[in-house]
Amino acid sequence: MLPSEIRDAAHTGKKAELERLIKAGLDIDTRDQYEQTALQFAAHDGQVEAVKILIELGADISAVSANGSTALSLATERERTQVVRVLKDAFRRAGYGWSANGKDEVCRTREYWGRELTEVFDFAEKERVTFSKNLETGAESVCRDSFDSISSNTLHLAAVELCKGGGENYTGTVSKAKSSQKLTF
């Protein structure tokens, strides 16, 4: 069971306390009754420094809670742009191109026309959340769009990666103005 000390330190971003607890022998990936980790609490609350220290100390960046949430999906849902960037960088350093974020999500990061884009495809909600950073100015933005407005090729790539990552098979319909295409994986 996740001790309240580490949960509270993660919620409030107490970096030194997290480091002390973990170095004292507390399992960094201990979970609460809902299978949530300290990293997930820190990500949910936008505690960038706490997320950084937890990753540095070896937290499992791909841990999935009982309801299917990951640190990245929680940060995405709450539009915690800085935390998403830290987690995305951790996935990249770990060798992930696409990364599965639980059973219903995949994520990818790429550079496009002077911007760094992190796209999170949520198959449960049928939406894509895109975090964009201008590489020259550092300006950031967040955009949400439904699967109906995304090309079927992009969705196909995301669905294939979801299946490769051990996620659920996806069966859904993408509607376009003149046609409708069913994707099944």
State the pLDDT at residue 180.
37
Band (179; pLDDT cuts 50, 70, 90): very low
Q: Is 141 exposed, middle or buried (0-12, 13-18, 19+ CB in 10 A)?
A: exposed
User: Do the Cβ atoms of 109 and 77 come closer than 8 Å?
Assistant: no
Is the pLDDT reported for residue 158 higher than 90? no
- Between 168 and 126, the more confident residue is 126
Which pLDDT tens digit goes with each residue over 49-104? 999 999 999 998 878 888 878 888 888 888 898 998 898 888 777 766 666 666 67
User: Do the Cβ atoms of 3 and 29 come closer than 8 Å?
Assistant: no
CATH number of 4-184: 1.25.40.20
Is the pLDDT reported for residue 48 higher than 90? yes
In DSSP terms, which residues pair with 146 in a beta bridge? 127
Which pLDDT tens digit goes with each residue over 92-146? 777 666 666 666 788 877 777 888 888 888 888 888 888 888 889 988 888 888 8
DSSP alpha helix (H) spans, the chain: 4-12, 15-23, 38-44, 48-56, 71-77, 81-93, 152-164
Q: What is the greatest pairwise CA distance in the chain?
A: 61
Which pLDDT tens digit goes with each residue over 13-32? 999 999 999 889 888 998 99
Tokens 């319909």, residue?
A: 173
CB count in 10 Å sphere of residue 182: 9
State the pLDDT at residue 176.
34
Is the pLDDT reported for residue 171 higher than 60? no
The two structure tokens encoding residue 37: 């980790």
Residues 6 or more apart whose CB falls under 8 angstroms from that of 57 comprise: 18, 19, 22, 23, 28
Does the pTM surpass 0.85? The reply is no
> CA torsion sign, 66 to 162 to 176 to 134?
positive
State the pLDDT at residue 172.
44
- What is the number of residues in the chain? 185
| One-letter identity of residue 19 | E
